[in-house]
Amino acid sequence: MADLIRDSFTLPGESGYEELTLRLAKKWGADVIRDSDGTQLSDEIINSGYGIYSTICLIRSVNAWAKKNMDKLQQNFLMSNPVTAESDVVEIDPIKGYFTQQFMVNTFDDAKEFWQVFDRTSGEEVALSDWDFNKETGIVTVRNAKKYHNYTVNFLAIRLWEEISMYNHITNDWGDKEHLMAVEPMCPETQEEILRWLEEWCETHPATTVVRFTSMFYNFAWFWSDDSKKRDVLSDWGSYDFTANPIALRAFEAEKGYKMTSEDFINAGKYNQTQNAPTKKYREWMDFINRFVIDFGKKCIDMVHKYGKKAYVFYDDSWIGVEPNGERFTEFGFDGLIKCVFSGFEARLCANAEVETHELRLHPYLFPTGLSGEPTFAPGGNPKLDAQKFWQNVRRALLRKPVDRIGMGGYLHLVEPFPDFCDYIEKVTDEFRLLKTFHEAGAPYEIPGKVMILTAWGSLRAWTCSGHLHEHPEVDLINIIESLSGLPFDVEFKSFDDIKKEGIGKDVKVIINAGVLNSAWSGGDNWKDAEVTAILTEWVAGGGGFIGVNEPSATDFSTQFFQMSHVLGVDKDLGTKKCLGKYNYDVKAKHFITAQNDIIELPACDGVFVLDGSVDVLAEVDGKPAVTAHDYKNGRGIYMSGYRFSLMNTRLLMRAILYAAKAEADMEKFICDNPLTECAYYPGSKKLVIINNTGDVQKANVTTPDGVVTATIDPYDIYIN
């Protein structure tokens, strides 16, 4: 083994396949072997001299105790389905329509302390004295109801089945295998039990070098209904809905002097989706929970450290309160962060966190089928091609910012019929280690100045929106971030509060605001704050570049819909300006921004109109302005009607950023002329790396201060000069 590079790779081992495990560990240069959900490591593997990662999930680890302490399970607020009053009395069965293997009504606590009943026709709350909950029948009775109004109950539900376990159980048809439950860690007895279990676990796992937490205590929100044709009632990768419970609610009120009501969570049935701009009160609740997750999380991590093991967090599933780019993340004391990656932005999310070891879990996982049920390691699958596509996404991000390790997960034996996959992973691991060495000699060349992404969340959700790109591909910002993940820009993520508190940094050249009305990404009601608009207007007037995408700065307020319409030179008619004349523009055929995009493939935005002749319309889609440019005093406003990640759109975005920054000349330095390729130059190691992002041979020219470098690169390959 001495002649092999042997580091930075984590291999999923599998008991019963010891020979395969050790052979692939050598081939792929592993230095660590891990177990996975559903696999175990034999003594032979454990004792083979590799580092050992072991996965644990604290909240579902004490199921026997959980069964005896049903009042200490995790809870959340649910809204009942509406019931129409046909007389002045309405009866509502709150749980009706929900998946009762997941939820039961909380009958332990006094309903009137936490629940609320609403007339959803008038929007008004029903007085506490006008309703009662019968614990025996499970029915809420509303009195003095208004005829033909619809009533709902906000109630606390106890969760009977930890959601990831539930999903795997049902999807894989695990039959009568025990249902795992999630215990509520706010409860002191639960904390005792978890710490007791963890200590015992550490005692009994001496070979484990790294304990991999999955992740901490609260899963993202995932409510199921009892109707298989509408399985999800709510599915939100960033929501704090599962953190509501009597202990936390009372503690919050005791600390703040005001209470979170059920309606603060239910929010007229919309809940508090990560995609939507949050209220100040909800941000306070998140902050409160985040502090708890860190406080108790730290106790668990300290325990692991006491046993001489490292503590890594796998950032997925029960990740609420663990946000790696949140302000307090370092307080956990984690030694490493592991992130599974489909996309470049996920690699940047990981790389951006302040932690010693950054590790990526590559896709495809070694499972028979992929996320959408398509075959991967099964007949009909082509896992090598899958791996190429995902690596192509991730590699361009790794050119910009390094991580420390990569690895895989799943059932190792599944790779046996796919030798081309095994060879390809060998190539990937070598490519990864090579790129890492370049970074070791210093960061790659970046275009001077910063690009700020302005959202309601700011750095809390740096390099992410909510969930994966394939789940909400219609979210413009996640597509933009994916493009940016491989571009030579220094990107920062700021909230509206940030710019009000700190102003806009001197080094910021371009601000991007992208999203639809009321989304967290566009900003929602933050745009009703004149201070925000004035700060940004002054900044653009002074020479800044503002790029707005889809419904930037949108809120139905005052004369304009886009509050930055005077800067962008475009606004949008929601249908209430039908009779107002719209400027009859011509499309400007030649422009710096669109110079490399003969065809513009962006989503159209209905109702967008140009204010006047000072605006250059650079492209149309469906007869509507799709890309516009507008000089505003000393700065520039750029509008794009939408954004989807593609190599050609990435080029369009890069040029738009450079134009907004009045930095057009930067296109001529360390940028591939061919948009289907990208490059990075590492001044420390004096290396120029060019990558081919396509399945075809590509030629690329890169202008450097020492002349033009020309390369011809095989499909998905890499060129180094």
CA–CA gap between residue 160 and residue 334 (Å, rounded): 30
> According to the binding rule CB under 8 A, does residue 500 interact with a copy of itself?
no
User: What six digits make up the tokens of 339?
Assistant: 């992130």
Region near a copy of itself per CB under 8 A, out of 39-47, 76-84, 318-326, 372-380: 76-84
In the list 4, 70, 441, 530, the residue contacting a copy of itself (rule: CB under 8 A) is: 530
Question: Does the protein bind a copy of itself through residue 5 (CB under 8 A)?
Answer: no
Q: Which residue, 409, 567, 502, is CA-closest to 10?
A: 409
- Report how far residue 555's alpha carbon sits from residue 558's, in angstroms, rounded to the nearest whole number: 9
Q: Does 227 bind a copy of itself (CB under 8 A)?
A: yes
Q: Residue 329 in 3-state DSSP? A: helix
- Should residue 229 be labelled a site residue for a copy of itself when binding is judged by CB under 8 A? yes
Q: How far is the CB of 549 from a copy of itself (least distance, A)?
A: 14
Active site residue 423: no
Measured from the CB atom, the residue of 250 and 577 that comes closer to a copy of itself is 577
Task: Verify binding: residue 167, a copy of itself, rule CB under 8 A.
Answer: no
Terminal C-alpha separation, the chain: 30
Binder to a copy of itself among 537, 553, 649, 692 (CB under 8 A)? Answer: 537
Q: Which stretch binds a copy of itself (CB under 8 A): 58-66, 305-313, 527-535, 692-700?
A: 527-535
Comparing CB distances to a copy of itself, the nearer of 171 and 558 is 558
Nearer to a copy of itself, 234 or 366 (CB): 234
User: How many CB atoms are closer than 10 A to CB 472?
Assistant: 15
CA 260 to chain centre: 26
213 belongs to the binding site for a copy of itself (CB under 8 A)? no
Residue corresponding to tokens 């083979």: 48
Answer for which of 61, 63, 100, 121 binds a copy of itself (CB under 8 A) is 121
Dist CA 282 CA 285 (whole Å): 5
Give the per-residue SS3 of 217-234.
CECCEEEEECCHHHCEEE
Which is nearer to a copy of itself, 41 or 475 (by Cβ)?
Answer: 475
533 binds a copy of itself (CB under 8 A): yes
Of 236, 264, 359, 476, the one binding a copy of itself (CB under 8 A) is: 236
Site string for a copy of itself, 539-568 (x = CB under 8 A): --x---------------xxxx--x--x--
Q: Closest distance between a copy of itself and the C-beta of residue 280, in Å?
A: 18
CB 523 within 8 A of CB 456: yes
Secondary structure letter of residue 496 according to DSSP: H
Nearer to a copy of itself, 529 or 601 (CB): 529
| Nearest Cα to Cα of residue 285 among 232, 320, 249 | 249
Q: Does 372 bind a copy of itself (CB under 8 A)?
A: no
Stretch touching a copy of itself by CB under 8 A, among 196-204, 307-315, 378-386, 533-541: 533-541
Q: Is 505 in the site for a copy of itself (CB under 8 A)?
A: no
The tokens of 85 are what? 């009053």
Among residues 23, 67, 147, 306, which is the contact residue for a copy of itself, using CB under 8 A?
A: 147
Q: Is 516 in the site for a copy of itself (CB under 8 A)?
A: yes
Q: 21, 55, 102, 239: which one contacts a copy of itself (CB under 8 A)?
A: 239
Q: Which stretch binds a copy of itself (CB under 8 A): 143-151, 163-171, 312-320, 378-386?
A: 143-151
Helices (H), 307-379: 344-352
Residues 6+ away with beta carbon under 8 Å from 165:
60, 179, 180
- Give the count of alpha carbons within 13 A of 175, CB side only: 0
Smallest distance, a copy of itself to C-beta of residue 265, A: 14
- Min dist. Cβ of residue 218 to a copy of itself (A): 16
Q: Does 4 bind a copy of itself (CB under 8 A)?
A: no
In the complex, the smallest distance separating the C-beta of residue 704 from a copy of itself, rounded to whole angstroms, is 41
The residue whose two tokens read 């300006």 is 577
Contact string 611-640 vs a copy of itself (x = CB under 8 A): -xx---------------------------
The token pair that represents 588 in the structure block: 């400007």
Q: Quick check: 234 binds a copy of itself (CB under 8 A)?
A: yes
Q: Are 195 and 210 in contact (CB under 8 A)?
A: no
**Greatest CA separation for the chain:** 85
Closest CA to 510 of 559, 555, 451, 550: 451
Among 8, 519, 674, 677, binds a copy of itself (CB under 8 A): 519
Instruction: Give the interface segment with a copy of itself, choosing from 59-67, 149-157, 476-484, 683-691 (CB under 8 A).
Output: 149-157
The answer to whether 119 contacts a copy of itself (rule: CB under 8 A) is: yes
Residues 576 to 615 in contact with a copy of itself, rule: CB under 8 A: 576-585, 612-613
- Nearest-CA neighbor of 321 among 221, 234, 216? 216
Question: Please, which of residues 268-327 interact with a copy of itself by CB under 8 A?
Answer: 268-271, 273-276
Q: Among residues 113, 232, 374, 507, which is the contact residue for a copy of itself, using CB under 8 A?
A: 232
Structure-derived torsion over alpha carbons of residues 301, 304, 306, 307, reported in degrees to the nearest 10: -170
Quote the CA–CA distance of 196 and 214 in Å, as a whole number: 18
Nearest of 547, 548, 546 to residue 536 by alpha carbon = 546
**Cα–Cα distance, 114 to 104 (Å, whole number):** 16
Q: Give min distance, CB of 656 to a copy of itself, in A.
A: 24
Nearest distance from C-beta of residue 206 to a copy of itself, angstroms: 43
Residue 114: in which H helix or E strand, if any? helix 111-114
- Taking CB under 8 A as the criterion, the residue among 146, 298, 389, 588 binding a copy of itself is 146
Round to whole Å and give the CA distance between 340 and 145: 51
In the set 119, 236, 241, 317, the catalytic residue is: 317
We find the least distance from the C-beta atom of residue 150 to a copy of itself, in angstroms, to be 6
Within 10 Å of residue 543's Cβ, how many Cβ atoms?
13
Q: Check binding of 149 to a copy of itself (CB under 8 A).
A: yes
Are 406 and 10 in contact by the 8 Å Cβ rule? The answer is yes
Strands (DSSP E) contained in 401-530 are: 405-407, 450-455, 490-495, 508-515
> Among 4, 89, 534, 697, which residue interacts with a copy of itself (rule: CB under 8 A)?
534
| Of 230, 256, 299, 306, the one binding a copy of itself by CB under 8 A | 230
What's the per-residue H, E or C state across 174-232?
A: CCCCCCCCCECCCCHHHHHHHHHHHHHHHHHCCCCCEEEEECCCECCEEEEECCHHHCE
**Site for a copy of itself, residues 463 to 482, rule: CB under 8 A:** 466, 472
User: Using CA atoms, how far apart are residues 222 and 167, in angstroms rounded to an integer?
Assistant: 10
C-alpha–C-alpha distance, residues 61 and 49, integer Å? 28
Quick one: 190 or 518, whose CB is closer to a copy of itself?
Answer: 518
Minimum CB separation of residue 652 from a copy of itself in Å reads 24
Dihedral Cα 395, 399, 401, 407, nearest 10 deg:
30
Site stretch for a copy of itself (CB under 8 A), options 31-39, 179-187, 222-230, 309-317: 222-230
Cα–Cα dist 26/11, whole Å: 10
Position 157 contacts a copy of itself (CB under 8 A): no
**Binding site residues, a copy of itself, CB under 8 A:** 79, 82, 84, 86, 118-123, 146-150, 152, 221, 225, 227, 229-236, 239, 268-271, 273-276, 466, 472, 516-519, 528, 530, 533-535, 537-538, 541, 557-560, 563, 566, 574-585, 612-613
Which active-site residues does the annotation give? 317
